[in-house]
Amino acid sequence: MPPSLASVPKNKSSVTTEKGLGRAKDILQAARELLAADGYAGLSMRRVAAEVGMSLSNVQHYYQSKDSLVEALLLYTMDVFQAKMDSIRAEMSGASRSEQFLSTVDMFMDEITDPVTHAIFFEIWALASRNAFASSLMARMLGRERKAIYLLIRGLNPAIPDSEYMQRAILMVAQMEGLMLFRLDKHKRREEFLAVRDSVRKALLMLATVP
């Protein structure tokens, strides 16, 4: 999952080089694992530096503070989601938009059942209830999700107005993220996961197409 320029620090000439982007990726990956394993309280710039084998000052060259690192990490996560959506659209250019939508739903189901992604979302949700910075990040992340889903479903049924599609996009995001509460395991409880995924596909397709 390569970091995009949107998820690395701005105004740093070193991160525009291949080597710089590689270091930024290493830092984000280490932060991702630490945040998932030990939460926001257990994440520190010093621990990230130790994980990637860099000095603290070098890590701070890329990300000046813990909060800027967490912000970049969430942007990185959303960039990965968007890249996968774009890839589905490109690879299924000959398929119907409904088929593309269902493939995107499958991708989201795989992502939200990834243990690391699951842990990060839960940590940010919990932190957002008592931390203004985390609350702002969560609002930005949800906003991006809503917009991405809206653009994906808009016009699937010409009888549904754009304003209604925006409301439906909000419901879809809420349903997908709400599934994380059930801690689905796509490996150990494969049959349960597939049954839930089938139900989600049907429910979201109806929401996207039925007036």
Residue whose C-alpha is closest to residue 203's, from 168, 156, 155, 159: 168
CA–CA dist 146, 158 (Å, integer)? 20
* Class of 1-73 in CATH: mainly alpha
Length of the chain counted residue by residue:
211
Give pLDDT, residue 2: 43
Q: Determine the pLDDT at residue 171.
A: 96
Q: What CATH number does domain 92-211 carry, 3.90.70, 1.10.3470, 1.10.10, 1.10.357?
A: 1.10.357
Predicted pLDDT at 6: 46
Q: Where in the chain are all domains bearing CATH 1.10.10.60?
A: 1-73
pLDDT of residue 112: 85
List all residues 6 or more positions away from 139 whose beta carbon is below 8 Å from its beta carbon.
none
73, 8 contact by CB (below 8 A) = no
- Which parts of 82-180 are beta strand (E)? none
Positions of the chain with pLDDT lower than 50, given as ranges? 1-6, 10-11, 13-14
Query: What pLDDT does residue 134 have?
Result: 87
pLDDT in tens, 151-198: 999 999 999 999 999 999 999 999 988 888 787 888 888 898 889 999
